[in-house]
Amino acid sequence: MPESVLFWIMGPLAVIAALGMLLVKKAVHSALLLAWVMITLAFFYIAQGALFLGIVQVVVYTGAVMMLFLFILMLVGVDASDSLTETIRGLRPIAITAAIGFGGLMVSLIGRATLGRESVGLEEANAAGNVQGLAYLLFSTYVFPFEVVSALLITAAIGAMVLAHHQREVPRSTQRDLSEQRFRSGSLATAAGLPGPGVFARHNAVDVPALLPDGTPAPASISETLRSRGDMRDSAQYQLDQIKTEVPEEK
């Protein structure tokens, strides 16, 4: 009874989300709805007594796979909706063939598992505990297919890594290397940023160039606009020995 209540609440929600996944415009919304479908599937698994499968479904699919999906989608663009132009030629027929092939595979798999076989029943299957029963099957009867699938997955992962990999010709520069490079590149701008204008404690207007440690004015401290307009004063007039110290300072 509780199972059918759950089914009639979650089932329609899952179907609506699955349809929405195909119909919404933004890729992120679509990914989210897919995540929701996966979570509802996990609910169904748990309600059917496949506790381990349900939890793993959430950890692996919702937690890791969908999250990576979302990650990539977000990198692609914040508000970009899907463009419907085909970037790879013949993508549509390939996709349709793959979908039909996958569907056929699923139907044949489910058919092989259900048609002409008596179900053992949950009680017997979970006799030694759900996790233990699953582990026993995976590592005894089905150990070869299990290993083949894992080898396939590893091959795919290595393939992706090979495709994305590129050989570094020079070692990656560290933070220290970069810092040294900036200082030794010969430009003040990259070393420590451009200096601010003004002669410290004498005149700090924007049109007075700052003085470098050796006493020469630093033109880089004046903004480009003022420089090209010629609105630049000589900072030498604000040097200590240029100012008449006899004049009493204003109070």
Partner 1 sequence: MSNAELIATDPGWIILVKGLLVFATCVVLTLLAIWAERRIVARMQERPGPNRVGPLGLLQSLSDGVKLALKEDLIPAAADKVIFIIAPIISATTCFMAFAVIPVTGPVTLFGHETVMQMTDIPVGVLYVLAVASVGVYGIVLAGWSSGSTYPLLGGLRSSAQVISYEVAMGLSLVSVFIYSGSMSTSDIVAAQGKWWYAVVLFPSFVIYAISMVGETNRAPFDLAEAEGELVGGFHTEYSSLKFALFFLAEYVNIVGVSALATTLFLGGYHAPPGLGFTESWLGGWFTAIWFFVKVAAFFFLFVWLRGTLPRMRYDQFMQFGWKVLIPVSLFWILVVATLRLLSQQGTSRTGLLIFSGIVVAIVMFANVAFDNAKQKKKNTPRPTLSKPDFAVPELPSKGSDRV
Which positions lie near partner 1, rule CB under 8 A?
26, 28-29, 32, 35, 39, 42, 51-52, 55-56, 58-59, 62-64, 67-68, 70-71, 74-75, 78-79, 129-131, 175, 180, 183-188, 191, 212-214, 216
Cβ(36)–Cβ(17) under 8 Å?
Answer: yes
Which CB sits closer to partner 1, 187 or 237? 187
Minimum distance of partner 1 from residue 183's CB (angstroms): 5
Q: Who contacts 177 (Cβ-Cβ below 8 Å, separation ≥6)?
A: none
Q: In terms of CB distance, is 57 or 198 closer to partner 1?
A: 57
CB of 237 to partner 1, least distance (A): 20
CB of 27 to partner 1, least distance (A): 11
Instruction: CB nearer to partner 1: give 74 or 154.
Output: 74
Residue 94 Cβ vs partner 1, minimum distance, rounded to whole Å? 30
In the complex with partner 1, the residue whose CB is nearer, 25 or 244, is 25
Residue pair 28/70 in contact (Cβ under 8 Å)? The answer is: yes
The answer to whether 62 and 43 are in contact (CB under 8 A) is no
Quote the least distance from Cβ 21 to partner 1, whole Å: 15
C-beta closer to partner 1: residue 111 or 129: 129
Question: CA-CA distance, 247 to 245, in Å (whole number)?
Answer: 5
